[in-house]
Structure 1
Amino acid sequence: MPTPPPTGPLVTRETLAAQLRDLGVEPGETLLVHSSLSSLGWVCGGSVAVVQALRDALGPDGTLVVPTQTGELSDPAQWSRPPVPREWWETIRAALPLYDPLVTPSRGLGVIPETVRTWPGALRSAHPHTSFAALGPRAAEIVEGHAVDCRLGERSPLARLERLGARVLLLGAGYDSCTSFHLAEYRIPAPLVEVGRPGPHGWEAVTEVSIDSDRFDELGHDFERDRPVVRGKAGAADVRLFPVADAVAYAERWLALHRPREEEF
């Protein structure tokens, strides 16, 4: 059987950059991007063209930020996709490589963040589970000082993005991927969990705030209803554009009201 032709639309670096500008992406701003390459259509040049288009829209003074998480550097007892046999756990804990910002690939976030991570000049934060990569004049300011015991809280790039007036671009991605909502979890009563990971002196456990994105789609629906959110299309992808600070402030109120009390303590 012959391979069927692509269904499109045809997306190029130039057409995507123009659509992003029309949606309101501004030269010189700082943009946290959550993305899905496949949602855009047939992209000439793939993820490289998307990153180029984002940088074109932001201009030389803008800064592009993406999540580059590495959840596989975690306790195998918690793995579910797929789970591994119990008798493997101790061997895996002993053999998992240490997180290296220059080498460790991101996982589960798509090809666009990985393209940014490996782009010449990109900088990446130090947290072994929830790092961010950035390109642009503010990259160092955003990623430096990411505390290794603070996944997505006050000592993470998210808090810096909030202070810098950054915006979130959901490029074919849903609100379930909106990491800004997690910063709100650090500002309301939330349970603590023990997080395991490989460390420089062997397996280590760190106490962290519990984070949970299970209801973020519902939260995002209400946020979009109540707060100004730019909505539109880029290629075939649905696009949302809004300030990090607005998302965090709304999520603080929403989670305090909607999270079941047994999840809070």
Structure 2
Amino acid sequence: MSGNWTEQHIPDQRGRVAIVTGANTGLGFETARMLAAHGAAVVLAVRDVEKGKQAAARITGDVTVQALDLTSLDSIRSAAADLRATHPRIDLLINNAGVMYTQKQTTADGFELQFGTNHLGHFALTGLLLDRLLPVPGSRVVTVSSTGHRIRAAIHFDDLQWERSYSRVGAYGQSKLANLMFTYELQRRLAPHGTTVAVAAHPGMSNTELARNAPAALRVPLTWLAPLLTQKAEMGALPTLRAATDPAVVGGQYYGPGNRGEIRGYPKLVSSSADSRDQAAQQRLWTVSEELTGVTFQR
């Protein structure tokens, strides 16, 4: 494709069902808005239903709201049951929701909050909805990662929940590295089916609420530098939208902003760290994730 990939390149989405997690604000909202504008039936899967309804009211098109708290496996199972009952087919599952640089906290199931929300919650949701995606040719699972997957990032198999010591930045890096490793291993498992693909994306540095939990030492510089470094949420959503809708996308790819440093710019195919490509670690993470969530994927 020549030129910059923009919202105008999104193909007609009529007849397609898209579920977007964390869609009541920021990148998720813009992703949902643009999909609905091109004809998709969009489900805003959000923790705060009232905020979700307010967001839905600002979107033109076929938009519904589904309660989903990614910090609770019970909520994930309940949401998946609702979605399965309502939607016999799903074309797009966009794992967008996330938390960043939070203080040490745990989910309802005892997982470190960033790892539990960003990775394990989406792992479980995907597994519980996969049989609604597999029969649909051209269906996709898009998981949003971050350039943070390179920063102090490793999968700490000896202390996944950061019980011995805690680093906000390190825990975020682990969760975003896990997003990529999940995508690559999922694609390997989906390939024999020939219908569904797994793709990853990242928004660069976008002007959203995600960094509100950053340490004070980072929060002040980020506030001052935001106008210079970040891009608007509608631009930050474009890599996800390209991963979700571009007919040329191939499973296992990773999209991000195309300018130097992948901070901003129009979406292009980008690369990820060597750690994210470690197949043995991907498979080990998959096994551990199944054990922790109790969700086993259809083969």
Question: By percentage of residues, which structure has more helix?
Answer: 2
Structure with the larger RCO, 1 or 2 (CA within 8 Å, 6+ apart): 1
Say which one has the larger Rg. Answer: 1
TM-score computed with the length of structure 1 as normaliser? 0.34
TM-score (norm 2): 0.31
